Each structure stands twice: as structure tokens, then as C-alpha cells.
Amino acid sequence: MTSTPRTWTLLLWGDPDACLDLGASYAAHERFAADCAAHGHEILGGEELASPSAARLLRVGADGPELSDGPFAELTEQLGGFYLIRTADPDGLLHLAATLLENDPGTIELRPVGGMSAVDAEPVASVAS
Amino acid sequence: MKLVVLVHEDEETYRSADAAGRARYVRGHEAFAQEAPGVGVTILACEALAGVTHARTVRHVGDATEVTDGPVARTTEPLGGFYLVDAPDVATLEGLVRLLPEATHEIRECVEP
């Protein structure tokens, strides 16, 4: 399914120590970038995050901020990196992204940007096709 | 150094907030952006993500790839957005993050190529 181009975040979740082969993983990301270019998915940016073991957490609550060492324990998989990609074909993008999991087990999540107010008016997209 | 602030927040907090609550939320983000340059922090990128009902997920199950609707993590505080910044150090960014609205803010370093 294609639609109007919009910006999506591709979130790469996983166990930070589970990457089997770092060289193969980086090569997979290079292939992914080339495949994106060939299929009209424009990569706007992306970052690889350092280990969550060094994360700092700041809980801002009604009683003021409270600082602690991370990672964010509510999650079983930690964010390892992300891409920002502009595309009209999110399903195609997600299937390309699946190749990144071959060398680096984990889970990939695709979500549009724009905040809650920007998308509340739009129907929820479905991949059940 | 390049750092990210991952904003983990309960979507319901914003959704159920009244006008004053939503204004306070926006003011927190505005204060963060306004104070950043004064302490040497440059915001390189920032995005608010659509709610988790707009997420779709792909994972490997055995040898097959499975695509489903919904986010990876079913948590009360899913990732709601992020800031990508250049900051002099982590402590400076910690001070600035205190201005952001109620949420759990995770500060992580980026891997420089």
C-alpha cells in the first residue's frame, strides 16, 4: 500500500549484547541504506545508541525530578538505534528493514512522527494484508 | 558530545489533560528549547511520535518474519518522542531535562562513527 509521503521513525529494539557479528551488522545497514535509496525511501537521519548500561534516567513527576542510573527497566528490549525515513510506502520499508534482523536479533518498530495530535484525526493503518 | 533524550511517557496523561495541563506540557518543551543555547546545548533533531496504535512491528519468529500491528513494548510509558542534541556533557543535559514535562526521560550517548 502506498500513500502520501510522510516521515516515519524506524526504531531498532533488542538486547544490546546480542549482536552476533558487528561487521555483518554494519554491512547489513549499508545494504539497507542502498535498498532504501533504490526503492524511494529517503533516509533523513539515524543514530546508533551506546549501551543502555550507561543510561541516565530522569523521572519528572509532580514532586519534581528524580535522577537515577538507567536503563529504563520497564522494557525487556532496549532501543539500540533509530532511523528517520520519509516514504510513501511504509509496508515496503518495513519489509526491507526486516533484513536488518538477520545479523542482529531483535524487533523493529515503525511509527509515524507528528505527535498524538497530528495523527488522532487519521485512521489507524493496518498491516493485516 | 552527541546524546539523545528518549521521552517515555504515558499517552493517557496528555490525552486526558485539560487545556491548562496541555499548555503546561507544551511550556515544558518550549522551556527546554529556549534554555538549551544558554547552556551550550544544540538541538540537532527532535520528533514527537504518533501514538502506539499507529505502530507496526517486525520480528523474526524461527526462520520466518512476522509483521504485526502495535508497538514492541507494552508498557505504561512507551517511547513518545526524542531529542537528539549536541551537549558539552551529560550533567548539563540532565539539568536541562528537568524542564521537560512529567515523563521518564532516558539520556543515552550516541555511537560516533
What pLDDT was estimated at residue B27? 95
Contacts of residue B20, Cβ cutoff 8 Å, sequence gap at least 6: none
Task: Confirm whether A128 is domain-assigned.
Answer: no
Contacts of residue A94, Cβ cutoff 8 Å, sequence gap at least 6: A108, A110, A127, B56, B58, B67
Pick from A125, A122, A119: nearest CA to A90: A125
What pLDDT was estimated at residue A32? 97
What pLDDT was estimated at residue B60? 82
What pLDDT was estimated at residue A11? 96
What pLDDT was estimated at residue A2? 58
- Distance between A43 CA and the closest CA of chain B, angstroms: 14
Taking the C-alpha atoms of residue B87 and residue A129, their distance in angstroms, rounded to an integer, is 44
What pLDDT was estimated at residue A31? 96
Domain count, chain B: 1
Task: Confirm whether A106 is domain-assigned.
Answer: yes
Beta bridge partners of B47: B82
CATH number, domain with residue B102: 3.30.70.1060
Q: Which is more confidently placed, B11 or B84?
A: B84
Domain count, chain A: 1
How high is the ipTM of this complex?
0.92
CATH number, domain with residue A23: 3.30.70.1060
**Range(s) of the domain holding residue A87:** 6-52+63-115
Exposed, middle or buried, B88 (CB in 10 Å: 0-12/13-18/19+)? exposed
- Rounded-to-5 percentages of helix, strand, coil across chain B: 30, 40, 30
pLDDT digits (tens), chain A, 129 positions: 557 899 999 999 998 777 678 888 899 999 999 999 999 999 999 999 998 988 999 999 888 889 999 888 777 789 999 999 999 999 999 989 998 988 777 899 999 998 765 444 443 443 332
Query: What would the grid cell of residue B73 be?
Result: 513494548
Which region holds residue B43: left if phi is over 0, alpha if psi is between -120 and 50, else beta?
Answer: beta
- The verdict on B14 touching A (C-beta cutoff 8 Å) is yes
Q: Which of residues 53-72 of B touch A (CB under 8 A)?
A: 53-60, 65, 67-69, 71-72
Q: Look at A59-63, A109-113, B5-9, B38-42 and tell me which has the smallest mean pLDDT.
A: A59-63
Nearest to B110 among A48, A77, A125 (CB): A48
**Range(s) of the domain holding residue B97:** 2-109
